[in-house]
């Protein structure tokens, strides 16, 4: 889906996700849009998120049931998501080789994947250095 087929609501939701410091659920987005659209329904949010995902502008964080904006420099292929369990930060890591290796492995077993998702939970460098003073965050 081309980005030019997105409407004002879609773009407003994308702007909310771009400005967010953490993944946002559909209900977080619903709350953010209430002032501009008092009668907006959850189904409208989900429809917009589906369109934004098809356009490659957002990615769902399945284990958090939330969404993040995709950086423009990131390829359209799926990315590995590194999720900090302390601060909630999500980093999108473009590792096509990892995604392809997992897809190939399950295909060899007879499974037919249609949407590979790899999410890794742990601690970001900042939170790790705060919990373990002997380690320092990379610069």
User: For residue 75, what are the CA distances in angstroms to 55, 56, 72, 112?
Assistant: 12, 9, 8, 23
Say whether 87 counts as a known binding-site residue: yes
CA distance 19 to 119: 22
Q: What are the start-end ranges of the H helices in 8-117? A: 8-19, 26-33, 42-54, 96-108
Phi/psi for 104 (5° steps) reads -60, -40
Annotated ligand binding at 18? The verdict is: no
Instruction: State phi, psi for 118 to the nearest 5 degrees.
Output: -125, 120
Q: Please check if 124 is assigned to a binding site.
A: yes
127 is in an annotated binding site: yes
Task: Report the distance separating Cα 109 and Cα 58, nearest Å.
Answer: 30
Q: Which residues are annotated as a binding site?
A: 84, 87, 124, 127
Q: Which residues are annotated as a binding site for Zn(2+)?
A: 84, 87, 124, 127
């Amino acid at each position: 889906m081309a980005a030019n087929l997105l409407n004002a609501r879609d773009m407003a939701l994308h702007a909310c996700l771009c400005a967010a410091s953490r993944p946002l659920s559909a209900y977080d987005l619903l709350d953010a849009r209430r002032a501009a659209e008092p009668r907006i329904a959850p189904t409208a949010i989900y429809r917009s998120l589906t369109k934004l995902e098809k356009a490659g502008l957002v990615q769902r964080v399945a284990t958090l049931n939330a969404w993040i904006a995709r950086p423009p420099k990131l390829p359209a292929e799926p990315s590995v998501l590194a999720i900090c369990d302390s601060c909630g930060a999500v980093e999108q890591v473009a590792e096509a080789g990892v995604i392809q290796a997992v897809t190939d492995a399950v295909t060899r077993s007879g499974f037919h994947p249609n949407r590979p998702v790899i999410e890794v939970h742990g601690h970001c460098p900042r939170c790790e250095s705060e919990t373990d003073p002997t380690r320092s965050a990379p610069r």
